[in-house]
Structure 1
Amino acid sequence: MKTYLCIDIGGTTIKSGIFDDDGYIIERFSLVNTDNSDKKRNIVTSLMTIINQAKINYTLSGICISTAGVVDPNTGEVIYAGYTIPNYTNTPLKALVETNFQLPCEVENDVNCACLGEYWKGSLRDVENGICLTVGTGIGGSLLRDGEIEHGIGFTAGEVGYLLIDGQKYQDIASTTYLINTVNHHKQTKLNGKEIFELAKNGDVICVNGIKKMIDNLSIGLINMMYLLNPEVIVLGGGIMAQKECLEPLINDSIAKNIEDHRFFKTKILFAELENDAGMIGALYNFKKRH
């Protein structure tokens, strides 16, 4: 049985585990906290430690990496990372891994990996043209066209968080961060997202209105994507989308209310199925496609 080490690199944490050839997890490793401004705890140092430890008990057929940042999937290099991950731009992950461990490695952007994971095992199964969004601290996006990731000429296709809506970035008015900041500003508290939804379920007006405003903003972006690409499916992921029972009717109602005509609303709005494993599963799928 072939085994693969799949790694999902975020801004401050790294998830990893051993997967088999069919995308099923064999062993899940502990979450690793990183600080890319600290040489002892930075991403590359932590990555090397994870691989060394995995090699003790497994004969690996490959290293499959999903990472935050803009990635050139051909060279496996992080060609751009924002201010949230200092010292990460121009990190040649694929070359570093293959040179140090003599194992094949493939690297892809984390939202693209989530999209590929959902295409292989989740909500995008049997869909050839779709969009995958992750809503969290910001908003990440990925475009699926004819069953392949659309990277664009500079590998930045799908960076929808930077779309401008009324002069503001989409992710600044439609993310979980926006919801938390809005509610806490009005309530003068420090609630997290889960607490906001609990209060909303109990009728808290400020929390209810905060969620509704976030969803209306999110829906404006979804409508614009429908106008431009007319995809079969838009899949919504990220921690907040676990609140499907609450959010699904709000999103569909908001789109129906604001879209030009019902004829434009042929796209299905679905919720991600793979949750926290989507990036690792998609990283494996990307590796398998390239080998």
Structure 2
Amino acid sequence: MYICIDIGGTDIKYGVMDVAGEFAVHGTLPTEAKTYGGLGIVRKVSDLVRETCGVYDVRGVAISTAGMVDPATGEIVYALEESIPQYRGVNWKAIMRENFDLPASVENDVNCAALGELWKGAGRGASSLFAMTVGTSIGGCLIMDGRVVHGVSRSAGEIAYMRVPGGRLHERCSATCLVASVCRTKGLPAGSIDGHAVFDLLRKGDPDAAEEVTALIDALADAITNVIAVANPERVVLGGGIMAQEEVLRPPLEEALRGRLPPLVYEATTIAFAATQNDAGMLGALYHFLQEHGNLSVSVLP
């Protein structure tokens, strides 16, 4: 069995899985990152691993985590201090090896979510895909031939910085941007509504919500067009909180892409919405572990 851990700024999701990605245990802990920082996360994860090893025959630890990661060494090379203080420099591979004599793998959480979708979700069977997460901010990951493309500074896929009409993609297409824009347009106090409320307003025919959602779709279509122009993936997988609104977003998004892409390219590219939800990071972490340690079998491959 394998311990799979997905470390975010708010929650630590964990599971115990077999090689086929079937859960025996599934749970969540509060990260409490701002209270206890990186060292607090190390203690929480270490306690979890220790308890699990007392129950199961554990063969390894697969970690998905916020922050920029060096997968080869297992070290967190960059993390926002305001999100997870004192997390930079934590080396998960060394911690698991020295404290538990267990092999470990470590990968960025967006990359793991993309691998999870490739293995068990909307990316299954694709030879190449680009996964985009649209939530508090924007994340991306390019997978070619089953492997994450990291780039020279391990920042490939950081599409929040992509320039689209009106500014950076984060400023045009995130849930943060959408909610703030609707509040500003309607004269509501900042933070008084969330993304769910915006889409509730949209369904009720609110013109301000409709205008801002249309602006988000335009920015998203520009970003997808840019990604397709560069990488030409077989599939684009859209996840994150905003993308849960597939029935509202898919028709206008496909129309926008049809107008931006040559017909040959548009018809060859599948737009899919994420299917593995909150399990994506843990599934992708396990898939990455199996890749890294040469344990992928025919039954595991997507």
What is the TM-score normalised by the length of structure 2?
Answer: 0.90
Distance 1:67 1:15 in 2: 10
Aligned residues: 288
Q: 1:32 to 1:198 in 2, by over 3 A?
A: same
Equivalent positions of 1:1-291 (< 5 A) are 3-36=1-34, 38=36, 42-83=40-81, 84-166=83-165, 168-187=167-186, 188-189=188-189, 190-257=192-259, 259=260, 261-265=262-266, 266-291=268-293
Check whether the contact 2:235–2:269 (CA below 8 A) recurs between aligned residues. yes
Check whether the contact 2:166–2:172 (CA below 8 A) recurs between aligned residues. no
Distance 1:172 1:32 in 2: 28
Unpaired runs of at least 5, structure 2? 294-302
Paired letter, 1:238? G
Q: 1:269 to 1:39 in 2, by over 3 A?
A: closer
Check whether the contact 1:34–1:46 (CA below 8 A) recurs between aligned residues. no
Check whether the contact 2:38–2:86 (CA below 8 A) recurs between aligned residues. no
Distance 2:193 2:58 in 1: 43
Distance 2:204 2:34 in 1: 41
Check whether the contact 1:237–1:272 (CA below 8 A) recurs between aligned residues. yes
Distance 2:202 2:69 in 1: 38
Q: Deviations over 1:11-58 (max 9, x none)?
A: 232111111111011111233232245259732222222222322322
Distance 2:79 2:219 in 1: 26
Distance 2:104 2:122 in 1: 26
Shift of 1:282: 0.6
Paired letter, 2:162? L
Distance 2:282 2:38 in 1: 24
Q: Deviations over 1:261-285 (max 9, x none)?
A: 3333232110111011000001001
3-state secondary structure, aligned to 2:179: helix
Paired letter, 2:262? D
Instruction: State the match for 2:297 in structure 1.
Output: none
3-state secondary structure, aligned to 2:125: coil
> Which stretch of structure 1 is more off in the superposition, 274-283 or 22-31?
22-31
Paired letter, 1:132? A
Distance 1:283 1:39 in 2: 22
Root-mean-square deviation (CA, aligned residues, Å) is 1.7
Instruction: State the match for 2:300 in structure 1.
Output: none
Point out 4+ residue stretches in structure 1 off by more than 6 angstroms.
Answer: none
Instruction: State the match for 2:299 in structure 1.
Output: none
Distance 1:103 1:112 in 2: 23
Check whether the contact 1:32–1:46 (CA below 8 A) recurs between aligned residues. no
Distance 1:56 1:36 in 2: 30
Distance 1:39 1:247 in 2: 37
Distance 1:195 1:268 in 2: 29
Distance 2:257 2:249 in 1: 12
Q: Deviations over 1:189-240 (max 9, x none)?
A: 4111111111211111111211111111111111111111111110001122
Distance 1:167 1:215 in 2: 13
What is the TM-score normalised by the length of structure 1?
Answer: 0.93
3-state secondary structure, aligned to 2:17: strand
Check whether the contact 2:179–2:194 (CA below 8 A) recurs between aligned residues. yes
3-state secondary structure, aligned to 2:233: coil
3-state secondary structure, aligned to 2:200: helix
Paired letter, 1:180? V
Q: 1:80 to 1:198 in 2, by over 3 A?
A: same
Check whether the contact 2:38–2:87 (CA below 8 A) recurs between aligned residues. no
Check whether the contact 2:38–2:84 (CA below 8 A) recurs between aligned residues. no
Check whether the contact 1:64–1:283 (CA below 8 A) recurs between aligned residues. yes
